Amino acid sequence: MRGLLSKVVVLALLLTVTALYLLPLWGALTTSLKTDEEIDLTSPIAWPQRPTAAGYINAFNYLKRALLNSVLITLGGTLGSVGLGAICGYALALYSFRGANLVFLLLAAGIFLPFQAILIPLFQTIRTLRLYDTIGGIVLAHTAYGIPMCAVMFKTFYSEVPKALVRQAVTDGSGPWRFYWKVVFPSTKLATVTILIFQFTSIWNELLFGLVLGGPRSMPATVALNNLVGTLAAQWNIQMAGSLLLTLPVLIVYIFLGRYLVRGYMAGAVTAV
Partner 1 sequence: MDSSRMPVDRERGVRAFLSRHPFLILALPLGLVGYFVYGGLLWNTWVSFTNWRGLTPTYVFYGLQNYSRLFGSPIFLTALKNTVLLFLTIPLCIVIGFFLAVLLDQNLRGMGIFRNLLLLPYALSFVVTGTIWAWMYNPSKGILNTVLRQLGFSQWQAMWHTSQETVMYAIILALVWQFSGYAALVLLAGIRAIPEVQIKAALLEGASRVRIYRRIIIPQLKGAVMTVVIVIMMYALRAFDFIWVLTGGGPGYASHTLSIMMYKEAFQATRFAYASAIANVLLGLTLILILPYLYVMHRRAAQ
Please, which of residues 85-104 interact with partner 1 by CB under 8 A? 85, 87-88, 91, 95, 97, 103
Query: Is residue 52 at the binding interface for partner 1, with CB under 8 A as the rule?
Result: no
Q: Which of residues 164-203 bind partner 1 (CB under 8 A)?
A: 175-177, 201
Distance from chain centroid for Cα 71: 12
Cα separation, 45 vs 28, in Å, equals 8
21 or 168: CB nearest partner 1:
21
Cα separation, 166 vs 160, in Å, equals 12
Cα separation, 268 vs 147, in Å, equals 13
Taking CA atoms, 182 is separated from 79, 136, 166, 173, 176, in Å, by 21, 32, 12, 13, 10
Q: Which of residues 107-146 bind partner 1 (CB under 8 A)?
A: 107-110, 112-125, 141, 143-145
Query: Is residue 273 at the binding interface for partner 1, with CB under 8 A as the rule?
Result: yes
Query: Is residue 252 at the binding interface for partner 1, with CB under 8 A as the rule?
Result: no
User: Shortest approach of partner 1 to residue 202 CB, angstroms?
Assistant: 10
Determine the angle formed by the axes of helices 54-94 and 135-158, rounding to 10 degrees: 50
User: Shortest approach of partner 1 to residue 180 CB, angstroms?
Assistant: 9
Q: Which of residues 1-20 bind partner 1 (CB under 8 A)?
A: 6-7, 10-11, 13-14, 17-18
